[in-house]
Amino acid sequence: MQQVARAVAAATDTVFGLMGNGNAALIRELADLGIDLITVRHEAAAVAAADAFQRATGRLAVATTTYGPGFTNALTPLIDAALSRSPLLLLAGSTAGVDHGALVAACGVHVEQDVDAAVEYALRESAPVVVFLPFRKPAPAADHGDAARRLEDAEQPLILAGRGAVGMRDEVVALAQSLGADVATTAPAKGFFHGLEGVRDLGICGGFAASAARLEMRSADVVLVVGASLNRFTLMHSFRTDAHVIQLDPHAPTSPRVDTVITELPVVDGGVGRPRAPVRITHTPGEGLCADGRLDPRSLFTRLDEVLPAERIIVTDGGHFIAWPCMYLDVPGPDHLVLVGTGFESIGLGFGSAVGVVEAAGGRLTVLVTGDGGGLMALADAESVLRRVQATGGRCVIVVVNDAAYGAEIHQYAWQGVPEQAMLIPEVDFTAVLGAFGAQGSVVRTLEDLAVVEDWLASGEPGTWVLDCRVSRTVVAPFLARE
């Protein structure tokens, strides 16, 4: 990445962008060379800003984004740059899961592997060009095996259910009870095994798991995955290395971690699972206020779980904060925790997603949880949420986890020497911003400040209440903690 940064520095001292996993190393190397990133809040703005800079100065436009959603967000201004013949260099992350090169080709944009060649092309042809930053592809899937026999012989089987298992819930439950298996879910399927007898429900699997439950999941010798894609959140700290992982998938395994693929639930005579002690699924309640005087997000969401009505449907944006609603807010059943965008690891889809949840909620309370970074990125559709709540006569609570930063980037890269400037956000008063759209709201600096929304909920008054929660950056979610 040093070579890439040096080539960029030789071509320009002005780079626009938004940091993510795919370009963090580049941004660090650029900073070491004295080039600070000019930050924006949306990847489309990164390319648009670079293009506008070029049109106003005649100099080469340079922008950088991460991979996945960071790259796809940038496509609209990239197409405009192609149509307008703008000499523009986009340095973007890439992944094995999405053919970024095909997307670029569909936009009529050239791809180069070398930055020097890309700069030469952009200036010679007066056209945009993309350079993809290095990415290591995952290993291929393992061979198939006899799923039914392995499950029957397992000493401690685990069944993991995702949203795709909802349509076969009765069959999955019956299989779990027949095997005496432990059960767990992905975050979107939280509540799938609610109230089930004869098995141990270990809660959410992966980075959002309770510590005691995570230890039990790591003890499983055979894992059956039904209706789950085994993304990095689900796999994080999940299974022991010699556990045999079976996935019910009619097409292909979703992870190299899968050993056997099946297309229907296996028929078993019962298992030889041994009696296991119950596991209490609890999470650290937090300290109330942290040493910096800001809220401990664990304490905040522990209290919100008590304050918010049980009949609720939760929708969350992406980011570091996503652990807290997934871990601390209970739901009455599957599909009551909606996470649009997490499969693609995007942020900024929270307000848009909430519009659909408000429409689906019926008499249930819609609870939107967003970070300040994703909230600012999606701000245009905050008004859409309020308008739809008013039209349906519904109720919505918007919880903004406001740490004045892109928390995921802070906790992953600041300690590696990446400059914090690109990760910080001036503290925004979301009650004032959304108040302009017609929402009521309150800034939450202590747990006692939640009393006002508790009173509003008790009143039965329709509408939208915004909780701008000033949380500490010192508490790191388990899925991002360094072990």
- Across 14-27, average pLDDT: 90
pLDDT tens digits, residue range 431-473?
A: 999 999 999 999 999 999 999 999 999 999 999 999 999 999 9
| Distances, alpha carbon 210 to alpha carbons 201, 218, 242, 307, 323, in Å | 12, 12, 22, 22, 11
pLDDT tens digits, residue range 242-254?
A: 999 999 876 666 7
Residue 448 DSSP code = G
Domains in the chain, start-ordered, CATH in brackets?
A: 2-132 (3.40.50.970), 147-262 (3.40.50.1220), 297-480 (3.40.50.970)
Task: Please name the helix (run of DSSP H) or strand (run of DSSP E) that holds residue 443, with its range, or none.
Answer: strand 440-444
Instruction: Identify the pLDDT of residue 195.
Output: 77
Contact indicator for 206, 233 with CB cutoff of 8 Å: yes
- Across 155-161, average pLDDT: 94
Contact indicator for 351, 387 with CB cutoff of 8 Å: no
pLDDT tens digits, residue range 105-129?
A: 999 999 999 999 999 999 999 999 9
- Across 421-429, average pLDDT: 90
Residue 420 DSSP code = G
pLDDT higher than threshold 70 for residue 137: no
In b/e form, how buried is each residue of 275-304, taking b as 16+ CB within 10 angstroms? eeeebebebeebeeebeeebbbbbbbbbbb
Instruction: Identify the pLDDT of residue 274.
Output: 60
Instruction: Identify the pLDDT of residue 127.
Output: 93
Cα 165 versus chain centre, distance: 21
| Distances, alpha carbon 423 to alpha carbons 37, 358, 379, 407, 478, in Å | 10, 31, 19, 8, 20
**What is the secondary structure of 217-228 as a DSSP string?**
HTT-SEEEEES-
Separation of first and last alpha carbons in the chain: 26
Residue 296 DSSP code = P
User: How large a percentage of the chain has pLDDT more than 70?
Assistant: 94
Q: And the tokens for 239?
A: 């299974």
pLDDT band for position 325 (50/70/90)? very high
Instruction: Identify the pLDDT of residue 142.
Output: 36
Sheet order of strands, 201-204 included:
201-204, 182-185, 157-161, 222-226, 244-248, 260-262
Average pLDDT of every residue of the chain:
89
| Amino acid identity for residue 91 in this structure | L
Tokens 């600041």 appear where?
A: 414
Instruction: Identify the pLDDT of residue 134.
Output: 75
pLDDT tens digits, residue range 222-265?
A: 999 999 888 888 888 889 999 999 998 766 667 888 888 888 89
Tokens 């703008």 appear where?
A: 86
